[in-house]
Amino acid sequence: MIFITGATGFVGGHLVDRLLDKGLKLKCLVRSERAVDSLTAKGVEVVRGDITLPETLEGILHPDDFVIHLAGIIIEKGSATFGSIHVDGTSNLVNEAKKSGVRHFFYQSALGADKNSRATYLKTKAEAEDIVTGSGLETTVFRPSLIIGPWDGFTAKLANMIKLSPVLTIPGEGKARFQPVYIKDWLKCIDKVIDNPGGYLATYEIAGPEYIEFREIIEILSRSMGRVKPVFKVPMGLMKLAVGFFGALPVSFPVTSEQLELLETDNICDMDVVKKNFGFSPVKYEDALKDFISL
């Protein structure tokens, strides 16, 4: 049995469909009634629970389970902080996995995870990695770069801006480099881990085959959508001021100061990392967009 957390998210949704296509039996941890209904309709066994509430996890795992722990957040909201979800939530799930002695535990971290990072997202991902790899269980960790594909929130937000705005707004110079990876390639990598878990007992960076500046990401996406527009760079200082100003008000602002910091920092690794560890060449950003973007 494959046990999945985060099955209702972008990555989890694609994973569920892929594994069902392969004929695998799935059990998913979900929080909402709506998710129970939609996954049950697909033939998935569903468990109602929350990784931050250890009492909801009691007894849900079995020795034959292969755990795929994807649940995570990109923006903190109320009590759902990076610490409570990534660190405490992962710790709760690992404790339960240890009690049941699951056969394998996979954790989805993030490229750039680092206990010394100034970004709490990356710091807490590194802390969660330690909890997983120090558990004594058989484990695999992925550190993916930005994952793109149908329904990914990042591309959807940018595509919306490109559709609605007369200019393309870029915070700062847009010079930080990224290495987007296509969801189909991420799926190919995890397929290999599921088929041969004992062959992948380490931490793997998962990233596309090229470095692309944030400015280029926006330009390539707008070109792929057939909507080339003038680029307008907003000085980073001004963006941060706006975030600080709106942050003090009871209104929501589309980006956080931490996200702005992440947009200013390179998030890259070896360009051949997937080829070296998984034996295939992932597709380039523009080719991935051609595969899934609707104009």
Ligand X SMILES: NC(=O)c1ccc[n+]([C@@H]2O[C@H](COP(=O)([O-])OP(=O)(O)OC[C@H]3O[C@@H](n4cnc5c(N)ncnc54)[C@H](OP(=O)(O)O)[C@@H]3O)[C@@H](O)[C@H]2O)c1
The residue (of 179 and 222) whose beta carbon lies closer to ligand X is 179
Residues β-bridged to residue 170: 233
**Residue of the chain from 87, 89, 92, 141 that contacts ligand X (CB under 6 A):** 89
Nearer to ligand X, 15 or 239 (CB): 15
Q: What is the three-class DSSP state of 92?
A: helix
212 binds ligand X (CB under 6 A): no
Binder to ligand X among 16, 39, 46, 51 (CB under 6 A)? Answer: 51
Question: If binding is defined by CB under 6 A, does position 57 make contact with ligand X?
Answer: no
Q: Is 92 in the site for ligand X (CB under 6 A)?
A: no
Per rule CB under 6 A, is residue 31 in the interface with ligand X? yes
Please report how close the Cβ of residue 165 comes to ligand X at its closest, in angstroms.
23
Tokens standing for 66? 């292969």
Question: 226 Cβ partners below 8 Å, 6+ apart?
Answer: 295
CB of 57 to ligand X, least distance (A): 9
The total number of residues written for the chain in this structure? 295
Among 2, 3, 4, 11, binds ligand X (CB under 6 A): 11
**Binding flags for ligand X, 104-133, as an x/- string (CB under 6 A):** ----x-x-----------------------
Q: Which of these ranges, 8-16, 157-165, 209-217, 259-267, lies near ligand X under the rule CB under 6 A?
A: 8-16
Please count the other Cβ atoms lying within 10 Å of the Cβ belonging to residue 156.
12
* 207 near ligand X, judged by CB under 6 A: no
**Rounded-to-integer distance, Cα 183 and Cα 160, Å:** 20
Does position 9 interact with ligand X (CB under 6 A)? The reply is yes
For residue 115, give Cα distances in angstroms to 112, 126, 257, 263. 10, 5, 19, 19
Nearer to ligand X, 178 or 200 (CB): 178
Nearer to ligand X, 89 or 208 (CB): 89
Q: State how far the Cα of 89 lies from the Cα of 51, in Å rounded to an integer.
A: 5
Residues facing residue 172 across a β-bridge: none
- Identify whether the C-beta of residue 70 lies closer than 8 Å to the C-beta of residue 7: yes
When CB distances to ligand X are compared, the closest residue is 9
What phi-psi label fits residue 264: left (phi over 0), alpha (psi between -120 and 50 degrees) or beta?
alpha
CB of 147 to ligand X, least distance (A): 4
Does residue number 139 form part of the binding site for ligand X (CB under 6 A)?
no
C-alpha 228/C-alpha 226 separation (Å) is: 6
Cα separation of 93 and 58, whole Å?
Answer: 9
147, 189, 193, 288: which one contacts ligand X (CB under 6 A)?
A: 147
Query: Measured between alpha carbons, how far is residue 71 from residues 113, 116, 130, 197 in Å?
Result: 16, 22, 16, 20
Minimum CB distance to ligand X, residue 225 (Å) = 19
Q: Nearer to ligand X by C-beta: 8 or 139? A: 8
Cβ atoms of residues 227 and 168 within 8 Å: no
For binding to ligand X (CB under 6 A), which residues are involved?
5-12, 29, 31-32, 50-52, 70-73, 85, 89, 108, 110, 144, 146-147, 152
